[in-house]
Each structure stands twice: as structure tokens, then as C-alpha cells.
């Protein structure tokens, strides 16, 4: 299957780490929030108007907004992104993704489909470990979901004032932009946050000094007297009042543990509008509902979990936008770039790219002049033992060490180039989530069923076909070798250890097979607590009182070309809605009295 050219073989062996560019770690400012402290310093029992579980992409803006009028507890299972070199320093981004220690900001999981993935475990959530691309959902998406369009735009602007910037394109990204327009992905929409068909430059959460701004930065809007933020607070379950005169279970508190294993309880203050809100993400929110007794009855009973509510839709509708990419070696130097340009096609595939030559640990000459420390290739490196082409029993430490050494000896020129990728709108394929055990810190079992729907596969093939035309365009000619055929590029890419799936001999002959064999995550997983199935249009959990879910687990489809802007917007949007509705209702009640 591999290319006959030695150069192509070398590229196939070493260019794995370019994929890691797509989720590089941030370079953030140090922030000292006076309301933040470690959970070990929390009282055994406390009371609040709102308890928010998850200080991530949605939880931070939600907590900041509600704290302006009410008492809020924000519980984050990870630590702070500020002052953490694994997060702040861009040169450490591959090491962060390869870090499988309990305190890593990125918690690796492998889906039941065999695709390697990561979920955040840090204040700021996925905005701390992603590629930084910022783009809104389309107006059609906003209206279909049922959000007020003008209120959503105001919430987007609130977020953008802190975290969104206009990136400057380097030569490689500029060539990709022109190449997309040359092959008909028109019009040229220039720089915009909006989701518009054609080619555009999107926003970035990296500023012009290369510093990442995350959802955690949105806590600057919080009223310090109105919020307590507890770090390394691992929520074990939601507490419910059940039975008696109550027709429905009522959430009234949570149990959480600090890093020393000590148990704490937080309860809602007396008041009919006080609520617990899950913002723990597409994996965390359905997992916590199940651990608390809300979920499929038979599944929960198999773990001896006391059933609070038989809700069969919890954990269903899990989806991850499948991504496939083609590596394009370059005869010319290329800039290090994350996602900046996107081609929004009319057939339902998005085309993007990332490039660079020092995406891994840079090699420096030692004192002897010739010493070269080995590169760290991050989550796709030989050191992770995840090489798809090597059977598990053969992934010995000695074999991995030999592979790492061979890769580190290659000349830097072999690393020049970039990836052009396509990802599928939607997607139409969905799966499910189940518990593995009763430990909320462990990953649940997740199946995404990539390409189980033929429409997703059709879009992948069309996207790859369009990428071939971009590679062959005049605009991109300075960054391609004329003697590399599309078949050879597919062969090179098919050898990258991007997942644990077996390869087939016809990967370079059949784009359908290439899509299936080389599928990767784009870290846009969603579902598990979908609107209309688990929560209502106001994100209240169906069949339960005083409990909502506000995060990406409620999405039926991924918004725009990247969900992070919309997840942050949703936190602000629902925070404003809850705040204003409550203030209005309480004002009316006082006037009646």
C-alpha cells in the first residue's frame, strides 16, 4: 500500500504530529480570581442560589452572568489554566496531549470506534486545548434551535469582546484561501465571524502575541461577591428529593470530593427558582445524570444505581463530526499555523488546513554541536503506543524507542508541509454513551458510529475530491511537489497512526475506504442530553425539577464550522435569560405584595 518513493515512506513515518497542531495548548495570561480556591478549602456544607457543575466553555460565561445578581457555586474538576506551563506555553502543546497523568488538562479517551480523542479537564474547558478557531453558527441554525436571533448576536459580541481576534494569514494559509476560491468555493467573504457559504478567514482565540484567551477569561465579568469557584472539585452525584407530596423528583444539591478524597455537599437555598445546572460537556453531563439515577433503567440497575427517573434518551444521540485529512509535503518553508481559513461548501463539507515545521518539541543542537534531543510527537507519537500499523503485542518499549529514535534522526526538511482537511456537516451518524463504572473521573464508553449514515460518507468523498483540486490549483503550486500524485498523497496519509483501525490495500483507490480507515476526531463531539429528548427548549431536564443542562451535550448537530463560539454564546445567552426572567418575576411578585 505504501508509496514506492523513499521520500514518501519517510513522510508517512514522521508527519503524524502535524495533526496535533489542530488542538495546540494555549499561551494565556496569568489571572488571579479572588473568588477561586481549591476544593480542599471548601466547607463541608454550603448553600447557593445556583450550583453549576463544570467550569468549561459554557459553564464559565453562565456562572459569570448569573453571579451578577445571585449567589453561584461553580465546580470545576480540573485545575486553573493560569500559571500551568503545559497549558500556557505553546511549545508544550504536544506534550500536553500526550500527558496521561491524572492532573493533565487533557484527558484522553478512545471511542469504541477506535478513534483517539481528548476531553478537557481544566478551567475553561475545551477552549484551553483546542485549535482556537472562532466562528459563529449560521442564522438559520440559531433560529432552528429556537434562540432569539438578536439576543444570540448580543451574547456572541459579549464573548468576542474578550476572546476573539483577527488572525493574520501567512503564505501557506493565504495559498489555501486563494486555492479554495480558484476551485469554486466562492465568494470570498474575507474576515468574518459569520457562517457564510464560500471562503472566509475566521476568528481566533489567539491574540496577535500568540496568547490564548479562553472561556476562563470570561469570568472577569463575574461579580466577586456573587460567585465561589472551586477547582479540583469532582462531582459524584446530584441529590434529589423524591416521593412524599412531590409529583416529580426535585434536585436540591450535589455531592463532590476534593483532591484529598474528602466529601463535601452543596445545597440550593430555599427558593422555587434556584437550580442546579450541568455544564460538564458531552461526556460529563450524561454520565453524571446516569450516576445520579436519571437514565435508562436497565442500564442503571446493572450498576446497582438507585433509579430516580427512567429516561432512556440520556446518552443517546452522541455524535462527532468525522474529519479526514491529506498531508501535502512542501518544497518551500511554511509557517506554523492553526485553523484560520475555511471553505464552506454547498454540499456539506468544510475545508480547512494547518501547517508548520516545528509543531513538536523543537530540536536544538547540544553543547557538542551535533546532539539532537528527540522530538515529542504528542498523542500520535510512537511513545503513546497507539501505532495503528503495529499490533498491540508488538508495541514493546524497545520497539517504540527504536521508532522514536528513527523519527528524530530525519532531516528537518522532511517535516515541511501541511494538512488540508475536510470535516462533515452535522453529522447524520449518531451513537451512544454508557457507563463503564461508578467513578465520575473515569471515561464512559462512547460510540460515535462514524460514517454509519451514507450521507456522511458522500460528503467526505466530495470533500476529499475538492481537496485534490485545491492541491492541484495554481494558487497552491509553490507548496506542492509536481511529482506527487493524489494516490501517493493518500498512501502517505493512510499510514499515519491517527486511530486504532486496520488499513486496507485499496485506501488509495477508494475514497470511501480512505474515509473509513483514516477517520479522526475534530473534537466536536456533542449529544447525550439532546433538546426534545432529555431537556426541553429551556434546557430543563424532562421529568425533573430544579435541574438544567446547558452545554454542547444538548446539541442535535454541531453549530457552524466550530462549536466553541456557540457554546460560549449559549452560556451567556441562557445566563441572561434566566437572570432577566427571574428579576422580572420577582419584581412582579413584590409589586403584588
Whichever domain contains 47, its CATH number is 3.50.50.60
Residue 348 has what DSSP assignment?
A: S
Any domain includes 129: yes
Residue 448 lies in a domain: no
Which stretch, 73-87, 226-240, 483-497, has highest mean pLDDT?
226-240
pLDDT at residue 11 greater than cutoff 50: no
Tell me how far CA of residue 584 lies from CA of 226, 273, 538, 588, in angstroms.
19, 12, 17, 6
Q: What is the pLDDT of residue 14?
A: 40
Give CA–CA dist 123/592, Å, rounded. Answer: 42
Give residue 92's pLDDT: 60
336 belongs to a structural domain: no
Q: What is the mean pLDDT of the chain?
A: 86
Annotation marks residue 524 as catalytic = yes
Query: Is residue 531 a known part of a binding site?
Result: no
pLDDT value, residue 536: 98
Residue 502: predicted pLDDT:
86
Q: Is the pLDDT reported for residue 132 higher than 90? A: no
Q: How confident is the model at residue 406 (pLDDT cuts 50, 70, 90)?
A: low
* Whole-number pLDDT of residue 1: 43
Q: Is residue 7 part of a domain?
A: no
373 is an annotated ligand-binding site residue: no
| Count of domains for the chain | 1
Q: Which residues contact 390 (CB under 8 A, 6 or more apart)?
A: 399
Q: How far apart are CA 464 and CA 515, in angstroms?
A: 9
State yes or no: pLDDT of 202 exceeds 80: yes
Mean pLDDT, residues 280-296 taken together: 98
Average pLDDT over residues 267-293: 97
On whether 299 is known to bind a ligand per the annotation, the reply is no
197 domain-assigned: no
524 is in an annotated binding site: yes
Torsional class of 79: left (φ above 0), alpha (ψ -120 to 50), beta (otherwise): beta
Tell me what pLDDT residue 319 has.
Answer: 97
Residues of the chain above pLDDT 90, percent: 67
Does 122 appear as a known binding residue?
A: yes
Instruction: Check whether 552 is labelled as a binding-site residue.
Output: yes
Residue 25: per-residue pLDDT: 32
Q: What pLDDT sits at residue 18?
A: 41
Q: Tell me: pLDDT of 89 over 90.
A: no
Mean pLDDT of 309-321: 97
Domain span at 243: 33-165+211-318+431-443+524-592
Mean pLDDT of 342-369: 68
Residue 172 resides in a domain: no
What is this structure's pTM? 0.88
Banded model confidence at residue 591, pLDDT cuts 50, 70, 90 = low
Q: How far lies 121's CA from each of 128, 213, 285, 439, in Å?
A: 9, 17, 14, 15
142 carries a ligand binding annotation: no
- Domain membership of residue 112 (yes or no) is yes
Is 198 contained in some domain?
no
Catalytic residue among 504, 524, 526, 584: 524
Amino acid at each position: 500500500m505504501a508509496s514506492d518513493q523513499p521520500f514518501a515512506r519517510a513522510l508517512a513515518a514522521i508527519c503524524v504530529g502535524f495533526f496535533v497542531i489542530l488542538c495546540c495548548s494555549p499561551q494565556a495570561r496569568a489571572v488571579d480570581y479572588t473568588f477561586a480556591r481549591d476544593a480542599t478549602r471548601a466547607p463541608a456544607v454550603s448553600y447557593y442560589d445556583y450550583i453549576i457543575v463544570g467550569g468549561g466553555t459554557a459553564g464559565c460565561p453562565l456562572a459569570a452572568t448569573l453571579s451578577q445578581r445571585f449567589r453561584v457555586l461553580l465546580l470545576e474538576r480540573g485545575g486553573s489554566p493560569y500559571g500551568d506551563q503545559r497549558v500556557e506555553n505553546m511549545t508544550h502543546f504536544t506534550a500536553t496531549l500526550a500527558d496521561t497523568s491524572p492532573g493533565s488538562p487533557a484527558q484522553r479517551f478512545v471511542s469504541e470506534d477506535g478513534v483517539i480523542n481528548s476531553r478537557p479537564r481544566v478551567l475553561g474547558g475545551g477552549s484551553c486545548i483546542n485549535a482556537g478557531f472562532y466562528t459563529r453558527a449560521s442564522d438559520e441554525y440559531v433560529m432552528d434551535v429556537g434562540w432569539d436571533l438578536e439576543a444570540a448576536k448580543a451574547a456572541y459580541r459579549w464573548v468576542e469582546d474578550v476572546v476573539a481576534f483577527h488572525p493574520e494569514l501567512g503564505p501557506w494559509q493565504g495559498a489555501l484561501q486563494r486555492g479554495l476560491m480558484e476551485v469554486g468555493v466562492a465568494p470570498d467573504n474575507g474576515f468574518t465571524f459569520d457562517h457564510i457559504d464560500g471562503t472566509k478567514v475566521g476568528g481566533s482565540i489567539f491574540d496577535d502575541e500568540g496568547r490564548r484567551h479562553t472561556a476562563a477569561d470570561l469570568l472577569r465579568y463575574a461579580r466577586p461577591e456573587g460567585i465561589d469557584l472551586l477547582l479540583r472539585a469532582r462531582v459524584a452525584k446530584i441529590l434529589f428529593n423524591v416521593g412524599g407530596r412531590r409529583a416529580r423528583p426535585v434536585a436540591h444539591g450535589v455531592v463532590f470530593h476534593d483532591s484529598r478524597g474528602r466529601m463535601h455537599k452543596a445545597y440550593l437555598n430555599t427558593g422555587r427558582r434556584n437550580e442546579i445546572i450541568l455544564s460538564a460537556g458531552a461526556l460529563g453531563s450524561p454520565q453524571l445524570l446516569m450516576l445520579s439515577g436519571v437514565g435508562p433503567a436497565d442500564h442503571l440497575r446493572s450498576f446497582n444505581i438507585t433509579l430516580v427517573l427512567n429516561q432512556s434518551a440520556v446518552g443517546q444521540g452522541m455524535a462527532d463530526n468525522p474529519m479526514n485529512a491529506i498531508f501535502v509535503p512542501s518544497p518551500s518553508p511554511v509557517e506554523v499555523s492553526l485553523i484560520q481559513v475555511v471553505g464552506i461548501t454547498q454540499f456539506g463539507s468544510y475545508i480547512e488546513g494547518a501547517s508548520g515545521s516545528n509543531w513538536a518539541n523543537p530540536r536544538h543542537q547540544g553543547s557538542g554541536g551535533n546532539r539532537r534531543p528527540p522530538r515529542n510527537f504528542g498523542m500520535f507519537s510512537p511513545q503513546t503506543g497507539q501505532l495503528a500499523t503495529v499490533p498491540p503485542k508488538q508495541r514493546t518499549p524497545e520497539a517504540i524507542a527504536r521508532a522514536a529514535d528513527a523519527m528524530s534522526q530525519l532531516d528537518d526538511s522532511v517535516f515541511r508541509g501541511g494538512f488540508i482537511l475536510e470535516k462533515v456537516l452535522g453529522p447524520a451518524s449518531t451513537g451512544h454513551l454508557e457507563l463503564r463504572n461508578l467513578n465520575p473521573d473515569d471515561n464512559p464508553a462512547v460510540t460515535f458510529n462514524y460514517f454509519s449514515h451514507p450521507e456522511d460518507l458522500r460528503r467526505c468523498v466530495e470533500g476529499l475530491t475538492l481537496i485534490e483540486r485545491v492541491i492541484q490549483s495554481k494558487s497552491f503550486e509553490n507548496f506542492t511537489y509536481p511529482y506527487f500524485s493524489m494516490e501517493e498523497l493518500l498512501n502517505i496519509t493512510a499510514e499515519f497512526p491517527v486511530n486504532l483501525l486496520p488499513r486496507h490495500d485499496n485506501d488509495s483507490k477508494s475514497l470511501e475506504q480512505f474515509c473509513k480507515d483514516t477517520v479522526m476526531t475534530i473534537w466536536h463531539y456533542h449529544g447525550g442530553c439532546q433538546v426534545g429528548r432529555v431537556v426541553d427548549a429551556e434546557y430543563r431536564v424532562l421529568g425533573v425539577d430544579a435541574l438544567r443542562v446547558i452545554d454542547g451535550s444538548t446539541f442535535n448537530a454541531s453549530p457552524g464550522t466550530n462549536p466553541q463560539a456557540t457554546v460560549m454564546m449559549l452560556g451567556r445567552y441562557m445566563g441572561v435569560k434566566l437572570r432577566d426572567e427571574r428579576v422580572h418575576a420577582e419584581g412582579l411578585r413584590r409589586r403584588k405584595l
